[in-house]
Amino acid sequence: MKAILHSGDFPVQNRKIIIGGSKSESNRLLILKSLFLNIRIKSLSESDDTRVLEKSLKTLKGTVNIHHAGTAMRFLTAYYASMEGAEITLKGSQRMHERPIGILVEALRNLGADIEYLENEGFPPLKITGKKLTVDEVTIPADVSSQYISALMLIAPKLPNGLKIYLDGDTVSEAYIQMTLSLLRRIGVKASLNNNQITISPVEKVEEVEIAVESDWSSASYFYSLVALSENLKITLSHFSKDSLQGDSFLPEIYKVFGVQTDFNTAENSINLYKQEVILPNRVTLDLSNTPDLAQTIAVTCFGMGIACNLTGLQTLKIKETDRLSALKKELSKLGAVITIDDNSLQLERSSGILPNPSIETYEDHRMAMAFAPLAVKTDLIIEDAQVVSKSYPEFWKDLKMTGINCDLKDLSK
């Protein structure tokens, strides 16, 4: 399916968009609910990744295909490994079989887990035979993906002696570890992170609790970009609050530099985004190691606004849905950008315009599609394989239309 985008009848004033629940919060809560039962979840994400995790948690035997869902792949590996009686072949899409999991498997094996590689050493698919894990300390490299650490943390309170996790090296995506800590505490588990040491106490049962998932800040980023790129668009997004568990809730701070003002409406749990006059910088420098999922959005905003940028802390991008640094370089270059990348950073020079009628490839990465879509404010463009958005944000195209962008979805298979 292609999305054919034309700039619409701007300004469409103050459109209200309700964004679905955070995929990261939902995935954690689903694992915790399976372990502790009496947790009720409100506003669960309707993303493909959350749905496939929810379905997979209903089975302890046979083959589970997790498709593109990286977080679910990592969380389920730890979950099944710790469930006595589980006999699972855990596989995913072709790309999932290229996304490393050796660090997590090694840590789980050190705790006593029985996990075998079915194809390539260090990568899915895996054969997992669930066992009681009794070791209560483990050291894990923290500089590749925080998902390995969150996966261990989520099963930790159910281990007979809890778990101490020692983090080795510079921690990446730490905001996601903090989110896991916060949710563990919300259900009554004692959990702390001090000086690279995570300590989680064992718990048999938790009190009944209902937790409402906040809307997804990573999904909100595409509307921040849209407001930044437009002249005077106003958008209201809900349900968001100031005391978010999500690292990407740093967006209001980041987008100030692009002239996007955020007003929190605490009574309605919503945010109003609008453009304010600011002196735009020639170059923006940002370390995104805590908010890796915003990198594509920010790079495209900078390009569209003709602002140069140095984005650093991007070392995790190579092992996500696609190699996001290469994908950004290829697609932005098509539009006329001058861009260089290395293992953990991206440099974009100031652009003076956008080459006309571009067609953007998405590399089976939802964030490539959504990050480039706001450029429709500046130029007509086509997004290839537009259906990829359902990985995290199935309603994206519908919501984008609400802002006044003219979006025509063409299904070529029909």
Ligand X SMILES: C=C(OP(=O)(O)O)C(=O)O
Ligand Y SMILES: O=C(O)C1=C[C@@H](OP(=O)(O)O)[C@@H](O)[C@H](O)C1
50, 150, 244, 345: which one binds ligand Y (CB under 6 A)? 150
CB of 392 to ligand Y, least distance (A): 8
Task: Please pick, from the candidates 17, 19, 69, 108, the single residue that binds ligand X as defined by CB under 6 A.
Answer: 69
Give the whole-angstrom CA distance, residue 211 versus residue 42. Answer: 6
In sequence order, the 6+-apart residues with CB closer than 8 A to the CB of 193 are: 177, 178, 181
Does residue 291 interact with ligand Y by CB under 6 A?
Answer: no
Dihedral (C-alpha) 12, 267, 222, 348: value to the nearest 10 degrees?
110
* Residue 69 interacts with which of ligand X, ligand Y, none, CB < 5 to 8 Å by class: ligand X
Catalytic residue among 293, 365, 385, 399: 293
- What tokens appear for 2 in the block? 């292609």
Question: 33, 91, 320, 329: which one contacts ligand X (CB under 6 A)?
Answer: 320
Residue 321 in the binding site for ligand X (CB under 6 A): yes
Choosing from 20, 70, 124, 141, the residue that interacts with ligand X (CB under 6 A) is: 70
Instruction: Give me the numbers of helices (H) and strands (E) for the chain, helices first please.
Output: 12, 22
- Catalytic, 293? Answer yes
Please list, in sequence order, all residues whose beta carbon lies within 8 angstroms of the beta carbon of residue 369, skipping any fewer than 6 positions away: 3, 360, 362, 383, 385, 386, 388, 389, 396
DSSP 77-91: HHHHHTSTT-EEEEE
Residues 354-413 contacting ligand X, CB under 6 A: 367, 392
User: Beta partners for 383?
Assistant: 3, 360
d(CA 300, CA 379): 13
Residue 225 binds ligand Y (CB under 6 A): no
In the complex, the smallest distance separating the C-beta of residue 367 from ligand X, rounded to whole angstroms, is 5
User: Residues 295, 287: contact at Cβ < 8 Å?
Assistant: no
Min dist. Cβ of residue 66 to ligand Y (A): 14
Candidate residues 19, 24, 101, 376; the one interacting with ligand Y per rule CB under 6 A = 24
- List residues near ligand Y by CB under 6 A: 24, 71, 145-147, 150, 172-173, 176, 292-293, 316
| Residues noted as catalytic | 293
Write out the residues near ligand X by the rule CB under 6 A.
Answer: 49, 69-71, 293, 320-321, 367, 392
